[in-house]
A and B are shown apart, each in its own frame.
Chain A
Amino acid sequence: MGVGIEVTNLNAWYGSNHTLQDINLNIPANHATALIGPSGCGKSTFVRCLNRMHETNPIARVTGSVRMGDIDIYEDVKPVEIRRRVGMVFQRPNPFPTMSIYDNVAAGLKLNGYTNHKSLDEIVEKSLKNSALWEEVKDDLKKKSGASLSGGQQQRLCIARALAVDPEVLLMDEPASALDPVSTSKIEDLIFQLKSQYTIVIVTHNMQQAARVAEKTGFFLNGRMVEFDSTHKIFTNPSDKRTEDYITGRFG
């Protein structure tokens, strides 16, 4: 089951660059929330703050609080633990090149010391089914390498890999931007199905995609969150003129 995320006064810096300013929002559990905005507006940085990947950059700094359920992810737990509860799918599919499909999906578990082979088999199968890839690869699980799949399949493999560790939140940073329309549709259908089990946050450049999959949408501009509301409202009658100008294409 998913969990909600409460962000309070989040500020982020890369060195002296104040990338995120005073972000406040509540991401509802078991819903898909989309984040839109022009390039460089900070939405990717924001999402990386939610699983503390932001910190892998040595000049990165964060203040403010991010609460998931009843814990503050910066104060109460270590980054490694948070990243097990908050999965991430990146813009370009990045399966581990030296591993088979099976090993890719099981990587998160194996590398954390999980060695029960029978339930690994079950978990791999369940994750691949949940990411709508099982039928296409079930005969080649250990024979084919993760990198030998097509782009759309690779991305679904990455989703399966993220799901295998049973996170509560799934962060997706422009998951379909490198994919063709058919693969994109498959991923979107997937997000629809996953919503009931996980909380999903999806960063996207494609506004129609945000409109198709998300219940709530946030518009980021220059490091600030300008408007956060139901997707319906944002795309039919947004409150802020900047939001309207962006989504009607008058800038950005």
Chain B
Amino acid sequence: MTRIRFQQSLEDLKENLLVMAGLAEQAIQRAIEAYRVRDLSICDLVSRSELAINRMERDIDQAALDLLAMEQPMAVDLRFILSVIKINADLERVGDAAKNISERVRHMENMGAVDLPVDIPRMASLAEDMVRKSLQAFIEADAEMARTVLTMDEAVDQMNRTAYKSLTKVMEEQGHLAPQALNALMICRALERVGDHATNIAEDVIFWVQGDDVRHPKAVAKLQAAAEKAAAPAPAQK
């Protein structure tokens, strides 16, 4: 096989991305843990790993840029590097989401712990599952696994909508719990975002492995329908 150095560079890129992915996953887990046990020291850990994630984002983008410029990758290699760049961005956002959650936890430090009608740990576990599965799909270049991730997003979105309804109700009916409710709502939003990022990662994996762009199916379908309608013959005119 020729271009051994290039193949090695692609492997290195993949490894670095996976290290960063590990940090991002860990950040979310820790943030939710901090929420569960209200431990501020864990929040510090999250902040630090977020710094590491940001630095890695820059390094990975730089490495990808170099490969594009120097090696003129084609076909699958080109799609791979493009996917890495995009997954890179999504993982960094996941890190940001983790940081947001830990910020909320800090805010809630002085508020008492209350029971809220929302199961954040369960939502978090769903979101974490999505992230883990999409990264597994990336490691194994498994487009089918990635497609299953796409179907999991709806559940998380649903939980977010339900949380919105219940928490606004709490804020209306039990005004003194408003601060906790608001923070909980923001945590749910962050977790919904994590789900979206996991979906993006899965879409990027499908693009890399199969060359298929499966993003925004609804928008694509709508445009398609409109185009077909415009191309259809007009009703007969006299």
The answer to whether any beta carbons of A and B sit under 8 Å apart in the complex is yes
Residues of chain A at the chain B interface (Cβ within 8 Å): 207-208, 234-238, 244, 247-252
- B69 lies within 8 A of chain A by Cβ: no
Instruction: Identify which of A247, A251, A252 contacts B74 (C-beta below 8 A).
Output: A247
Q: List 17 A-B contacts (CB under 8 A).
A: A207-B74, A208-B72, A234-B75, A235-B74, A235-B75, A236-B75, A237-B76, A237-B211, A238-B75, A244-B75, A247-B74, A248-B3, A248-B77, A249-B74, A250-B1, A250-B3, A252-B2
Measured between beta carbons, the chain A residues less than 8 angstroms from B1 are 250-251
**Residue in B7, B75, B210 whose Cβ sees the most chain A Cβ within 10 Å:** B75
Measured between beta carbons, the chain A residues less than 8 angstroms from B77 are 248
Closest 4 CB pairs of A and B: A237-B211, A249-B3, A247-B74, A248-B77
- B179 lies within 8 A of chain A by Cβ: no
The count of chain B contact residues (Cβ–Cβ below 8 Å) is: 15
- B104 lies within 8 A of chain A by Cβ: no
Measured between beta carbons, the chain B residues less than 8 angstroms from A244 are 75-76
Closest to A238 in B: B75
Closest to B212 in A: A237
Closest to B211 in A: A237
How far does the Cβ of A39 sit from chain B's closest Cβ, in whole Å? 13
Residues of chain B at the chain A interface (Cβ within 8 Å): 1-3, 6-7, 72-79, 210-211
Measured between beta carbons, the chain B residues less than 8 angstroms from A235 are 74-75, 78
- Cα-based distance from A235 to B77 in the complex (angstroms): 10
Closest to B6 in A: A249
Contact present for A248 and B73 (CB under 8 Å): yes
Closest to B77 in A: A248
Measured between beta carbons, the chain A residues less than 8 angstroms from B2 are 249-252
How far does the Cβ of B77 sit from chain A's closest Cβ, in whole Å? 5
Contact present for A237 and B74 (CB under 8 Å): no
Asked if A236 meets B3 with Cβ closer than 8 Å, knowing A208-B72, A248-B73, the reply is: no
How far does the Cβ of B95 sit from chain A's closest Cβ, in whole Å? 30
- Cα-based distance from A216 to B144 in the complex (angstroms): 31
Measured between beta carbons, the chain A residues less than 8 angstroms from B3 are 248-250
How far does the Cβ of B58 sit from chain A's closest Cβ, in whole Å? 27
Contact present for B6 and A236 (CB under 8 Å): no
Closest to A245 in B: B1
Asked if A247 meets B6 with Cβ closer than 8 Å, knowing A236-B211, A237-B211, the reply is: no
Measured between beta carbons, the chain A residues less than 8 angstroms from B210 are 237
Measured between beta carbons, the chain B residues less than 8 angstroms from A248 are 3, 73-77
Measured between beta carbons, the chain B residues less than 8 angstroms from A250 are 1-3, 7
Contact present for A237 and B72 (CB under 8 Å): no
- Cα-based distance from A248 to B72 in the complex (angstroms): 9
Measured between beta carbons, the chain B residues less than 8 angstroms from A247 are 74-75
Measured between beta carbons, the chain A residues less than 8 angstroms from B6 are 249
Having A237-B210, A247-B75, one finds 20 other A-B pairs with CB under 8 Å, namely: A234-B75, A235-B74, A235-B75, A236-B211, A237-B75, A237-B76, A237-B79, A237-B211, A244-B75, A248-B73, A248-B74, A248-B75, A248-B76, A248-B77, A249-B2, A249-B74, A250-B7, A251-B1, A251-B2, A252-B2
- Cα-based distance from A235 to B76 in the complex (angstroms): 9
**Residue in A238, A247, A248 whose Cβ sees the most chain B Cβ within 10 Å:** A248
How far does the Cβ of B96 sit from chain A's closest Cβ, in whole Å? 31
- Cα-based distance from A207 to B77 in the complex (angstroms): 15
- Cα-based distance from A251 to B211 in the complex (angstroms): 22
- Cα-based distance from A247 to B75 in the complex (angstroms): 8
Asked if A236 meets B72 with Cβ closer than 8 Å, knowing A249-B3, A250-B2, the reply is: no
Instruction: Identify which of A234, A236, A251, A252 contacts B78 (C-beta below 8 A).
Output: A236
- Cα-based distance from A248 to B74 in the complex (angstroms): 5
Closest to A250 in B: B1
Measured between beta carbons, the chain A residues less than 8 angstroms from B72 are 207-208
